[in-house]
Structure 1
Amino acid sequence: MHAESDDRGRTVVPTVVEPVPERGTAERELGSRAPNFIKASRMLHLSWQVGVFVVGLAVVGAGIVMLPLPGPGWLVIFGGMAIWATEFVWAQLVLRWTRHKVTQAAHKALDPRVRRRNIILTTVGLVMIAVLVWIYLWKFGLVVPWKIDQ
């Protein structure tokens, strides 16, 4: 950077203007979001962190159980991570990375070429399934399971 002088003979040092983040995309500070009266006492803050960890662990554990069972497993796991992120920097960084990747995938999915490809692949897949169902029905007919002769 070079300094320039204005008409009054003063040296003007240009400032670096950082881009303003879009609305709603500002990054929050890393660190504990516990109330100040809890942060004031070391023992109380440590107890708070243990409680947040246990509650987050229970929610993440429930999400892991829901992965093979019916239920919103991944949503519950990310909810547990959000609970951990209220207190732990590592969880905040994981959530930032995840949010960044999800945003990238959403932008990529909105690309017209990708959407066109996905629509074509979906249409081809549905046509193939329809043809296979038609062949099955043509060859075997419609036989409901409760009327099969044994």
Structure 2
Amino acid sequence: MDTGSDERGGVALGSRAPAFIKASRPLHLSWQVGVFVVGLAVVAGGVVMLPLPGPGWLVIFGGMAIWATEFVWAQLVLRWTKRRVTEATQKALDPQVRRRNIILTTVGLIAVGALVGIYLRTFGFVPPWKINH
């Protein structure tokens, strides 16, 4: 496929390898294997970062972007993800949703503050695991 535009105005799906690489089937296959291995290493690093400190999801999407330079399935996944993130962002910026989230956060903080106040009045500055019944 060429790297022109598709019918929706986006970038066409398919390999973005240089023309001289696409011209040779063995070279193109080697290129795809290399792109897959590098993308897999980046995605694996992102998965490792999920429970550890680090930008796990960002790294995973970076690995997907590497795969998307060569594989149509990854391009479609990234398009879907971008659409979903855009929709979520627009929904989060909706004034009614923002107002509801601010109200819920305020009520939650007041409730937590009241519970902490009750605890401190009852037990003082004693950690819960050192309270004698």
TM-score (normalised: structure 2): 0.86
Structure with higher Rg: it is 1
Q: Which runs of 5 or more structure 2 residues have no equivalent in the other structure?
A: 1-7
Q: CA deviation at 1:40?
A: 1.2
Q: Which runs of 5 or more structure 1 residues have no equivalent in the other structure?
A: 1-20
Secondary structure of the residue that 1:29 maps to in structure 2? Answer: coil
- Look up the match of 1:117: 100
Secondary structure of the residue that 2:70 maps to in structure 1? Answer: coil
Secondary structure of the residue that 2:87 maps to in structure 1? Answer: helix
Secondary structure of the residue that 1:125 maps to in structure 2? Answer: helix
- Identical amino acids, percent of aligned pairs: 77
Q: Distance in 2 between matches of 1:48 and 1:75?
A: 24
2:46 aligns with one of 45, 59, 63: 63
Q: Deviations over 1:8-28 (max 9, x none)?
A: xxxxxxxxxxxxx8xxxx411
Q: Does 1:132 align with 2:115?
A: yes
Q: CA deviation at 1:143?
A: 3.5
Q: CA deviation at 1:133?
A: 1.0
Could you list the structure 1 runs, at least 4 aligned residues long, displaced by more than 3 angstroms after superposition: none
Amino acid at match of 1:34: A
Amino acid at match of 2:18: P
Secondary structure of the residue that 1:136 maps to in structure 2? Answer: helix
Q: Does 1:88 align with 2:100?
A: no
Secondary structure of the residue that 1:104 maps to in structure 2? Answer: helix
Q: Distance in 2 between matches of 1:126 and 1:141?
A: 20
- Look up the match of 1:106: 89
**Higher share of residues assigned helix:** 2
